């Protein structure tokens, strides 16, 4: 099982990635709200429809590769990847992806912007960081984090 897709819906897997996205490809990014956190997983995923009831999922990061799956596999994928409803979910759809894809859970809502604890700017979740040491500032934007850590 990978990305919540049951083995019976995984048609093939491989280590190679082509970067050949179709026009309607959907991309997702893993959020890394803790600066300098060592990441040994997958940073981004691209989903392309290759033919009727066939989808290719490419993943990139410390681990890279691809797998091919079906519509049922995509539904399981969406339920797993987009299930996190916390303020900063583990995965977000890339902003270039205009619409929520059909395989997202029915009640899926893209995460709302979060107010930076320092400059009070409404900030997209993908630009929010969660500093480890200042518990009174749970969320800061990237600019404030950089300013605080310049010296």
- Closest CB to Zn ion among residues 67, 144: 144
State the minimum distance, in angstroms, from the CB of residue 110 to Zn ion. 21
State the minimum distance, in angstroms, from the CB of residue 81 to Zn ion. 28
State the minimum distance, in angstroms, from the CB of residue 139 to Zn ion. 9
- Closest CB to Zn ion among residues 71, 143: 143
Contacts with Zn ion by CB under 5 A lie at 116, 118-119, 141, 144
State the minimum distance, in angstroms, from the CB of residue 123 to Zn ion. 7
* CA separation for the pair 49, 73 (Å, rounded): 12
- Closest CB to Zn ion among residues 79, 142: 142
* CA separation for the pair 42, 28 (Å, rounded): 10
State the minimum distance, in angstroms, from the CB of residue 136 to Zn ion. 14
Longest CA span, the chain = 55
Q: Which residues pair with 114 in a beta bridge?
A: 123
- Closest CB to Zn ion among residues 45, 129: 129
Return the beta strands (E) in the chain as ranges: 10-14, 26-30, 42-51, 54-61, 65-69, 91-93, 114-115, 122-123, 128-129, 140-141
* CA separation for the pair 129, 11 (Å, rounded): 37
- Closest CB to Zn ion among residues 93, 144: 144
* CA separation for the pair 3, 75 (Å, rounded): 11
């Amino acid at each position: 099982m990978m990305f919540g897709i049951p083995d019976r819906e995984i048609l093939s897997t491989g280590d190679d990635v082509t970067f050949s996205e179709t026009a309607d490809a959907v991309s997702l990014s893993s959020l890394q709200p803790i600066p300098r956190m060592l990441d040994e997983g997958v940073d981004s995923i691209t989903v392309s429809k290759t033919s009727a009831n066939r989808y290719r999922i490419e993943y990139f990061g410390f681990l890279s590769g691809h797998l091919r799956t079906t519509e049922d596999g995509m539904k399981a994928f969406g339920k797993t990847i987009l299930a996190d409803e916390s303020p900063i979910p583990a995965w977000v759809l890339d902003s270039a992806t205009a619409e929520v894809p059909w395989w997202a859970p029915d009640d899926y809502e893209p995460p709302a912007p979060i107010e930076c604890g320092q400059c009070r700017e409404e900030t997209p979740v993908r630009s929010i960081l969660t500093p480890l040491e200042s518990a009174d500032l749970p969320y800061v934007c990237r600019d404030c984090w950089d300013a605080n850590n310049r010296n």
